[in-house]
Amino acid sequence: MNKESITFFRDKFNTNEFIPLHVPTFSGNEKKYLNECIDSTFVSSVGPFVDEFEDLMNQITKTKKTTAVVNGTAGLQVALRLVGVKKNDEVITQALTFVATANAIAYNNAHPIFLDVDLDTMGLSPNAVDDFLEEYGELREDGCYNKKTGRKIAACIPMHTFGFPVHLDELLIVCNRWKIPLVEDAAESLGSEYKGKPTGSFGEIGVFSFNGNKIVTSGGGGAITTNNIKLGERAKFLTTTAKQPHPFEYIHNELGYNFRMPNLNAALACAQLEQLDLYLNKKRSLANRYEKFFSSKGIKFRTETKNTKANYWLMCIELENSKERDLFLESTNSNNVMTRPIWKSMDFLPMYKNCQKDELLNTRFLEARIVNIPSSVIL
């Protein structure tokens, strides 16, 4: 099977060279916009491309206010502060995620609670959240508290794994019942939809990443999206070092962050966003080819769930067990076809090993079986 997979990659992609997991493609106005940016001398955090990028993101995510930031992790850090997370609060999230989700919680001096994912979405399970809160949650006038620790549970962060949306309706019902604001980690899901609405538009705040390996890249960058205009304005204020508007004086009245996206990066992002629909169509075409091939071999290729539209950012297969996973990883990578396993569960990392968690049964199942395969738009 591994030899057949490698032959498939080589034949379909018509190359004997190294096949990376995900690389950007620059086939639009990238060079034109970058040259315009350089010629204007506005290459830092103020400039027309930043404004255009924010407008484009409002249109794509169908939200009212976008703030461009330096990366998705910074966006998550600020988003948690915006919804009221304070020192020693707790934040519910999934154990099976990229480390940035957990790190953003820690950057706010808060504590992650790691709960299980659903097998179909690989994202935070509404049932797991509901079960945890039924056992440990306590509603008070100012929100939900953890009966075991005495700390306030100040937010919930689901992450749309590889661009597959979580069960948002069910999760929102649980969070609203327990008065817990929801922040979407939509870093991987630009262009994905849940019941016809874009991810990043359901929670109090959504956060996207434009890192070099994402479906759309600005080299490094992120975006905070919201339908709450006041929260959006505060996001821009906090990420601009909390500087009060003034013709010439430097007035900062609270702790802020130097997290604004430079105009140079925004120029690149604008050119990329113009091609998002093209990228999504190419991704879907590649996913269809993969599904046909792997299903003929009796291997599960991960596809979108009912009532969702995935962007297929990183495509993945589910193997029978950890032994088969490791054989596949070794065989493909030794033949210059880059594949990689899903992340290690956050509770295995030394800085998070003592955090509260549930049984994580689905997390352990997926961790032993999921492998990402080459997913670049150029394929």
Q: Cβ contacts of residue 372 below 8 Å, gap of 6+?
A: 21, 162, 314, 315, 316, 339, 340, 341, 342
Let me know if 314 is exposed, middle or buried by CB neighbors in 10 A (0-12, 13-18, 19+): buried
CA dihedral 3, 8, 9, 14 (to 10 degrees): 130
Pick the CATH number of 2-20+276-373 from 3.40.50.11720, 1.10.760.10, 3.40.50.10860, 3.90.1150.10: 3.90.1150.10
As annotated, the residues of the chain forming the CATH 3.90.1150.10 domain(s) are 2-20+276-373
Euclidean distance between the first and final Cα of the chain, in Å? 21
For residue 190, the one-letter residue type is L
Q: Which pair of tokens denotes residue 357?
A: 């968690």
Question: Considering the domain 30-273 in this protein, what is its CATH number?
Answer: 3.40.640.10
- Determine the Cα–Cα distance for residues 201 and 58; give it in Å rounded to an integer: 10
Q: Which pair of tokens denotes residue 70?
A: 């330096």
Q: How far is CA 200 from the centre of its chain?
A: 10
Each residue's pLDDT, cut to its tens digit, for the chain (379 residues) gives: 677 777 777 776 666 789 999 999 999 999 999 999 999 999 998 899 999 999 999 999 999 999 999 999 999 999 999 999 999 999 999 999 999 999 999 999 999 999 999 999 999 999 999 999 999 999 999 999 999 999 999 999 999 999 999 999 999 999 999 999 999 999 999 999 999 999 999 999 999 999 999 999 999 999 999 999 999 999 999 999 999 988 899 999 999 999 999 999 999 999 999 999 999 999 999 999 999 999 999 999 999 999 999 999 999 999 999 999 999 999 999 999 999 999 999 999 999 999 999 999 999 999 999 999 999 998 8
Among candidates 286, 129, 98, which has minimal Cα distance to 207?
Answer: 98
263-273 and 30-40 helices, crossing angle to 10°: 150
As annotated, the residues of the chain forming the CATH 3.40.640.10 domain(s) are 30-273
Instruction: Please give the backbone phi and psi of residue 205, each rounded to the nearest 5 degrees, phi first.
Output: -145, 145
- Determine the Cα–Cα distance for residues 156 and 172; give it in Å rounded to an integer: 10
